[in-house]
Amino acid sequence: MTTQPSPFASSPIVLDHPLIQHKLSHLRKAETSTAGFRRLVRELSLLMCYEATRDLPLETVEITTPLETTHAKQLAGPDVCFISILRAGNGLLDGMLDLVPFAPVGHIGLYRDPKTLEAVEYYLKLPTQISSRRCVVVDPMLATGHSAAAALTRLKQEGAQRLLFVCLLSTKEGIAYLAETHPDVPVITCSIDPTLDDHGYIRPGLGDAGDRLFGTK
């Protein structure tokens, strides 16, 4: 099946809402505690979920209010699922599931080879019928783009056709790499940071998101 490039893939959606930018600034601070970091990530993921689910299809149904019967809109079936890139992606799930509690969740485990910076898969568990769902793939960081691209490639191999990548921070390098390898996948992010260092870390960034989420730094 031939997929058409998304108009948003080469121009990522950067969420500049004042609340998002305020919370992101506190998330970056070195003195933010593990508990505070988790809370901020959850709050940010809830706000980001609004954009990630903006174009979910609706249907009109008949309901009864306390006053009368009327027609109203609701989501047209279980159209969305969330895919977390382990382990740090799990930090973004809670807020999204607060808004979409019925959405199934998949996990893909990847680690970055410290020498090549390439992604290596070690775990995969996905919901059924991902070919018919909007798959929202979550990972806090889009640095080199190799892990994200590997995850998207694997999901396409499993039948996913409608994919969206959501991250807290990104870089021009990571965005360019995804646009090259997966031009059909839109990217939603809260910031495009200026640089990557020699170890592939985003600068100024926020440190290792997984370590800060799970208190292993």
Please check if 112 is assigned to a binding site.
yes
Please check if 87 is assigned to a binding site.
yes
Please check if 192 is assigned to a binding site.
no
Please check if 216 is assigned to a binding site.
no
Please check if 212 is assigned to a binding site.
no
Instruction: For residue 45, give Cα distances in angstroms to 14, 33, 91, 111, 207.
Output: 14, 18, 8, 22, 18
Please check if 199 is assigned to a binding site.
no
Q: Are strands 80-86 and 105-112 parallel, antiparallel or unpaired?
A: parallel
The tokens for 76 are 């047209």
Please check if 202 is assigned to a binding site.
yes
Please check if 182 is assigned to a binding site.
no
Please check if 143 is assigned to a binding site.
yes
Please check if 142 is assigned to a binding site.
yes
Please check if 208 is assigned to a binding site.
yes
Q: Strands of the chain (E only): list them.
A: 13-14, 58-64, 69-75, 80-86, 105-112, 119-125, 134-138, 141-142, 162-171, 187-193, 195-196, 202-203
| Residues placed in the known binding site for 5-phospho-alpha-D-ribose 1-diphosphate | 87, 112, 139-147, 208
Q: Which residues are annotated as a binding site?
A: 87, 112, 139-147, 202, 207-209
Question: Annotated binding site for uracil, which residues?
Answer: 202, 207-209
